Structure 1
Amino acid sequence: MQALPDAARGEDPIKTTDVHRRLSGFLVDLPVVKTVQRRLERLEGDGLVESKKKGSALYWRKLPGASGLAARAAGVMSHDEALALQTLRRFSSRQIPSLVAETLSPLFDVAGKRLAAVNTEGERRYRKWIDKVEVESGNFSLQYPVVEAEIFEVVSRALFYEQQLEVVYQPRTNVDNNKAKVVYPLGLVEVSGLVYLVASMPRYPNPALYRLDRMSHAAMLPNPFAYPRGFRLSAYVREQRQFDFMVEGDIFVKLRFRNGAGNHLLEAPLSSDQEVTQADSGLDVCGTVLLSQRLRWWLRAFGPNVEVLAPASLRDELAREAQALAAMYRKNAG
């Protein structure tokens, strides 16, 4: 169904051979054209696709609906189900859920029409509820680059089938690159609005990170690869801390927060061994954390409302930064 044009979008039907050609981008084990023809005829019999004959060739497109699921759901979808789908659509703010949810777009449309059809007071409450809930990020909002849906689809498919992936990657240091490379996709990770592909390469032992928005081309190759048995994406992300940026190892920190800046740590500890002491001068917090650029960014965000008491090396580093910052502002103010 994904290979067929959509009548709901006004797309023109295509020949059986063109459907077969499109399927080569979706399937590893591609059936022959005659098999595709027979399956299309069965789908037409089920009322899910339509055909038009031009000369000796049949042209096909799917009827409005997501593989027929939306068409079937329209008559049986409850208000609870419609509300759940509309909530999913409304609050899929992160890129990976949003890109995956595009597959459900026709179902979302059905849900919207279901909620719009108000016949009773109870149904009116369902329609209004979606406007009574909001989600707001606690972080400063940045406009992150958007991943192209086609790139995400190809990368996801290669990851699912464990097939080699050809990409043209344009890092910040080489934005005009047009040379393709072959990688072995191992996982997808979203970090702070950016989507990364974790992938290995032939003859390189360690995986590397590739931002999907920096890919100008992606194609799934017919060649499979052996997914490494010892690799676990969760371990790569959480244990090796590959997304903490320039990891330097564990340290035991002692921090003094002022003006209530660290009160949230009473409910959301910074480490499993956190200890907290309330003092007249503020809130003293200590614990074992990973020294990284992310930790430094977090500390800098508190400005003068946090003081690093230990370790001495981190305290001295931030003190030098504070002196340089103060000197810069004094110079510009003069």
Structure 2
Amino acid sequence: MRADRLVSLVLLLRQRGQLTADALAKELEVSPRTVLRDIEALSAAGVPVYAERGRHGGYSLLPGFRTELTGLNHDEALALLTAGSGPSEHTFGLGTALASAMRKIVDALPEGHQNAANNAAQRFLVNPETDLLSRRLSQDSLPDATLRVVRRAVLAGRKLRIHYASRGQPPQWRTVDPIGLVTVRDKGYLLATESGTDRTMRIARVHAAEELAEPAQRPDQVDLEHIWAQRCAEFLSEGHIPVQVRVSPARRDDLLDMAEAVRAEEPEPDGWLRLEATFQDLWHAEWALWQLGTDAEALAPPELRASLHTRAQAVADRYRDTPEPEPIQTQSVRACPLQE
């Protein structure tokens, strides 16, 4: 851990120039006292770190000093910088590790290419926090300390004791055998078994976690993609309703964003699309289709059509016989002649 921190400290000074102990401590997530000890260790190892005293002082490296980190070409570094530019790097509590890795990647480039890679990465934006309609996208959040425990247990293959809140229930302690971690649209899931029963748990609902010494009961070889596909199929087959719907092609993506899944899709002669979509329940389907207005039509089940008709009738009744607004009184104003 300290060796990684020392490398990060050197890279920060190389790439940003002079920094105070407080600024270094904030970047490395340690105390200023720890930074001072690290600088003393670097100096003792022959790294040319020197201090500038005074109000605008700080720590710097002698000009020309360079660490030797090689092995990445320009496109490889650009790919990694771009992949790490989105908000999802915090899903599994790896934000600090990613920041350290990004510094190493930049430093691995030839000196003349560092600015080019940074400038190129700034022209790519991955998964911004809001979409084109200014809707803020939801993202799971959990203290890094808890995520580290979960991640460590998954990688070490040990049982995990978690304080977990199932939907609509108070949190309770449960012991599970972790299999793997999955992130989908910035939402994290823990795939596990509990007393031999498959469990798919939202990471955001884990209030606390403890890694146990007992080995987890799990297969030696894990195909997470296959397991995730199975869990999704089981999830969609339990407690959900299928809906037949017609939708304008311009609103297809909006419907897909709100539905749990789309099982079938085919074009119709008039240019619209007929889909079989899955929703959590009748209320969810009614809410989603109401957002699309006249750009969508529910064909089945009949109770969904009836509930949408009732809602539309209530809105129409509300706006029937709307009183006309009184005319606004205005005063005439003499126009000022133009000045030549």
Asked if Structure 1 and Structure 2 have the same fold, meaning a TM-score greater than 0.5 normalized by the shorter chain, the answer is yes
- Cα offset, 1:288, TM superposition: 3.5
Equivalence map 1:4-23=2 (5 Å): 6-7=5-6, 8=9, 9=28
Which of 275, 292, 303 matches 2:280? 292
How many angstroms apart in 2 are the aligned matches of 1:234 and 1:264?
A: 24
Aligned to 2:48: none
Asked whether the 8 Å contact 1:255–1:310 carries over to 2, the reply is no
Asked whether the 8 Å contact 1:148–1:213 carries over to 2, the reply is no
Aligned to 1:200: 193
Aligned to 2:99: 105
Aligned to 1:225: 216
How many angstroms apart in 2 are the aligned matches of 1:247 and 1:271?
A: 12
Which of 178, 202, 219 matches 1:185? 178
| 1:76–1:311 Cα change, 3 Å | closer
How many angstroms apart in 2 are the aligned matches of 1:325 and 1:237?
A: 40
SS of aligned partner of 1:302: helix
Asked whether the 8 Å contact 1:79–1:114 carries over to 2, the reply is no
- For residues 186-211 of structure 1, the C-alpha deviation after alignment (integer angstroms, 9 at most, x for no partner) is 34333443323233323xx6434433
2:70 paired with 1:78: no
- Cα offset, 1:247, TM superposition: 1.6
Aligned to 2:293: 303
- Cα offset, 1:89, TM superposition: 1.8
- Cα offset, 1:4, TM superposition: 7.0
How many angstroms apart in 2 are the aligned matches of 1:314 and 1:186?
A: 39
Asked whether the 8 Å contact 2:153–2:178 carries over to 1, the reply is yes
Aligned to 1:57: none
SS of aligned partner of 2:273: strand
5+ long unaligned stretches in structure 1: 14-46, 48-70
In structure 1, give the amino acid aligned to 2:85: R
How many angstroms apart in 2 are the aligned matches of 1:131 and 1:214?
A: 34
| 1:257–1:211 Cα change, 3 Å | same
- Cα offset, 1:302, TM superposition: 1.4
In structure 2, give the amino acid aligned to 1:79: H
| 1:302–1:160 Cα change, 3 Å | same
TM-score, normalization: structure 1? 0.58
How many angstroms apart in 1 are the aligned matches of 2:97 and 2:104?
A: 13
TM-score, normalization: structure 2? 0.58
- Cα offset, 1:218, TM superposition: 0.9
| 1:143–1:255 Cα change, 3 Å | closer
How many angstroms apart in 2 are the aligned matches of 1:4 and 1:296?
A: 56
SS of aligned partner of 2:251: coil
SS of aligned partner of 1:238: helix
5+ long unaligned stretches in structure 2: 10-27, 35-44, 46-66, 256-260, 324-340
- For residues 6-50 of structure 1, the C-alpha deviation after alignment (integer angstroms, 9 at most, x for no partner) is 34346678xxxxxxxxxxxxxxxxxxxxxxxxxxxxxxxxx9xxx
Asked whether the 8 Å contact 2:140–2:188 carries over to 1, the reply is no
Aligned to 1:147: 142
| 1:307–1:173 Cα change, 3 Å | closer
How many angstroms apart in 2 are the aligned matches of 1:262 and 1:247?
A: 20
| 1:237–1:295 Cα change, 3 Å | farther
Aligned to 1:63: none
SS of aligned partner of 2:214: strand
- Cα offset, 1:221, TM superposition: 0.5
How many angstroms apart in 1 are the aligned matches of 2:97 and 2:180?
A: 20
Asked whether the 8 Å contact 1:86–1:108 carries over to 2, the reply is yes
| 1:208–1:303 Cα change, 3 Å | farther
Aligned to 1:314: 304
How many angstroms apart in 1 are the aligned matches of 2:275 and 2:3?
A: 56
SS of aligned partner of 1:274: strand
SS of aligned partner of 1:223: strand
| 1:165–1:323 Cα change, 3 Å | farther
Report percent identity of matched pairs.
Answer: 20
SS of aligned partner of 1:195: strand
- For residues 213-249 of structure 1, the C-alpha deviation after alignment (integer angstroms, 9 at most, x for no partner) is 332321111112322799952233332235x98423x
How many angstroms apart in 2 are the aligned matches of 1:99 and 1:222?
A: 22
Asked whether the 8 Å contact 2:89–2:98 carries over to 1, the reply is no
The count of aligned residue pairs is 257
Larger Rg: 2
How many angstroms apart in 1 are the aligned matches of 2:137 and 2:253?
A: 26
